[in-house]
């Protein structure tokens, strides 16, 4: 049985994902016992971790519709108000149950996303493979060449600099001098090669995978260096995995000061470039992304336009944080960017350790409405959403595209 919410009919697995993203999860002890049995992936602590949670909290669930076997992955968001949270429990047989508004949700099968086996494997020099690559969602293969962010002022929803460990290569260190990267690039690239070859044997990438090059920003005046480093890495990994990935190589990056360097990214093998605006109105951008605003709203807009000329329509993406601005303000701006050739998406706002926000999470109705209307916008231009429903763990973009949300 589907769920009717406002003017929409929502498939059960998508409804559950939406409720988790807007209200969070509370796990019973029975459910946590199952997490150990299923070898659940726990918090990566790569660039975020939910507030009010511990490092051993399960990271993601995979939810499958019993009737048609459609599956999606959701992040195990921590609740701000536990009285509204989705409760994940387990019955006597160990089957996970979702309790929403005090009722068990029918027709869904729930499992934890398992920790990839490569997380415990090591490369020749003794380092863990996961120091070089990691998996977000079920099937992302994420490459993070450094930890943290050295932008002039952090985005207010971000807590990335809270997850730097002793021995990590940091954005601040890389930005300190081009010599720093030059001295370590040879060893880094060869270690990365070995890590990728090990990771790609994992079962989580059997169906397909999404190869994503991503990191926190270097300092505002070092974004050209960041672009050159990303280009060097992309050129190196293209023969290893770029041609096997579903989208080729995706580079999530703040755009360079020198617009001409965008062509270097393209020539290095990057197929899709992502400049995340986070907030799509000038007012919201200024309020929630003060470091990016030091570069300028038009700085990003100009480079999105230039990137479309180089990579082509549909190959330039930008992500937003749904909940920072009203849906009524967001959708017209998304439509204007789509007209220029930029594919838009959003992650539902969740609260990470280290955030300095002054707003609350969006309501389910706003989330469903936004993604339904965004799909209408993107479909006009034959744009396909980012990645897939098993990778985008905090978004309903793919679910809307795949008609899991329809009008009554």
Report the distance separating Cα 127 and Cα 183, nearest Å: 18
pLDDT at residue 195, as a whole number: 98
Task: Report helix, strand or coil for 62.
Answer: strand
- Cβ–Cβ under 8 Å, residues 398 and 385: yes
Q: What is the DSSP letter of 385?
A: P
- CB of 42 closer than 8 Å to CB of 76: no
Q: Check: CB of residue 88 under 8 Å from CB of residue 96.
A: yes
| Per-residue pLDDT tens listing for the chain (408 residues) | 799 999 999 999 999 999 999 999 999 999 999 999 999 998 765 544 555 556 678 999 999 999 999 999 999 998 888 999 999 999 999 999 999 999 999 999 999 999 999 999 999 999 999 999 999 999 999 999 999 888 889 888 887 666 677 888 899 999 998 899 999 999 999 999 999 999 999 999 999 999 999 999 999 999 999 999 999 999 999 998 878 899 999 999 999 999 999 999 999 999 999 999 999 999 999 999 999 999 999 999 999 999 999 999 999 999 999 999 999 999 999 999 999 999 999 999 988 777 778 878 899 999 999 999 999 999 999 999 999 999 999 999 999 999 999 999
Contact predicate 65/110, CB 8 Å: no
Predicted confidence at residue 48, as pLDDT, reads: 47
Cβ pair 22, 323 in contact under 8 A: no
Which residues, 6+ apart, have CB-to-CB distance to 68 below 8 Å? none
Partners of 211 in beta bridges: 141, 249
* 76, 19 Cβ separation under 8 angstroms: no
| pLDDT value of position 214 | 96
**DSSP string for residues in 189-232:** HHHHHHHHHHHTTSGGGSS--EEEEE-----GGGHHHHHHHHHH
Which CATH code for domain 125-386?
3.20.20.70
Domain with CATH 3.20.20.70 in the chain: 125-386
φ/ψ of 18, rounded to 5, equals: -60, -40
- pTM (predicted TM-score): 0.95
Pick the closest to residue 16 from 114, 95, 85, 115 (CA basis).
Answer: 85
Contacts of 24 (CB under 8 A, 6+ apart): 50, 77, 78, 79, 80, 82, 84, 85, 86, 350
Regarding beta strands 8-10 and 25-27, do their DSSP bridges make them parallel or antiparallel, or are they unpaired? Answer: unpaired
Beta strands in 238-330 (DSSP E): 249-252, 270-274, 316-322
- Pick the closest to residue 158 from 327, 311, 289 (CA basis): 289
Tell me what pLDDT residue 398 has. 98
Q: For residue 105, what is the DSSP state?
A: P
Distance CA 42, CA 65 (A): 24
- The neighbour count for residue 125, using CB atoms within 10 Å, is 9
The predicted structure's pLDDT at residue 159: 72
Question: CA 400, CA 398: separation in Å to the nearest integer?
Answer: 5
**And the tokens for 124?**
């020749």
Provide the CA 245 distance to its chain's centre, in angstroms. Answer: 17
What's the rounded Cα separation, in Å, for the pair 154 and 144? 18
**What is the pairing mode between strands 270-274 and 316-322?**
parallel
Distance in angstroms (rounded) separating the CA atoms of residues 251 and 265: 9
């Amino acid at each position: 049985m589907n769920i009717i919410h406002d003017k929409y009919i929502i498939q059960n697995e998508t409804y559950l994902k939406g409720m988790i993203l807007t209200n969070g999860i509370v796990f019973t002890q029975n459910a946590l016992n199952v997490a150990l049995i299923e070898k659940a992936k726990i918090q990566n602590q790569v660039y975020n971790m939910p507030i009010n949670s511990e490092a051993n909290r399960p990271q993601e669930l995979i939810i499958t519709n019993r009737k048609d076997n459609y599956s999606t992955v959701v992040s195990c968001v921590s609740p701000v108000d536990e009285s509204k949270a989705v409760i994940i429990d387990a019955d006597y047989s160990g089957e996970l149950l979702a309790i929403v508004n005090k009722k068990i949700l029918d027709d869904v099968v729930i499992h934890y996303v398992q920790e990839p086996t490569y997380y415990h494997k090591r490369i020749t020099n003794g380092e863990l493979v996961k120091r070089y690559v990691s998996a977000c969602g079920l099937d992302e293969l994420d490459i993070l060449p450094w930890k943290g962010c050295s932008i002039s002022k952090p985005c207010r929803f971000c807590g990335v600099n809270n997850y730097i460990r002793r021995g990590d290569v940091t954005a601040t260190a890389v930005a300190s001098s081009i010599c720093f990267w030059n001295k370590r690039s040879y060893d880094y690239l060869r270690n990365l090669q070995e890590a990728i070859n090990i990771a790609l044997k994992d079962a989580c990438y059997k169906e397909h995978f999404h190869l994503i090059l991503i990191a926190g920003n270097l300092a505002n005046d070092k974004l050209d260096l960041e672009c050159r480093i990303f280009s060097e890495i992309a050129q190196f990994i293209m023969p290893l995995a770029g041609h096997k990935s579903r989208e080729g190589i995706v580079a999530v990056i703040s755009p360079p000061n020198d617009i001409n360097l965008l062509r270097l990214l393209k020539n290095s093998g990057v197929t899709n470039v992502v400049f995340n605006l986070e907030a799509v109105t000038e007012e919201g951008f200024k309020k929630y992304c003060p470091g990016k605003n030091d570069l300028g709203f038009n700085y990003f807009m100009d480079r999105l336009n230039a990137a479309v000329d180089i990579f082509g329509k549909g190959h330039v993406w930008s992500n937003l944080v749904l909940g920072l601005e009203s849906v009524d303000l967001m959708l017209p701006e998304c439509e204007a960017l789509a007209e220029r050739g930029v594919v838009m998406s959003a992650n539902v706002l969740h609260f990470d350790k280290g955030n300095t926000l002054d707003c609350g999470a969006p309501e389910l109705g706003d989330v469903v409405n936004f993604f339904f209307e965004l799909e209408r916008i993107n479909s006009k231009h034959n744009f396909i959403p980012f990645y897939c429903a098993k990778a985008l763990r905090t978004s309903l973009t793919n679910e809307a595209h795949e008609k899991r949300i329809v009008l009554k």
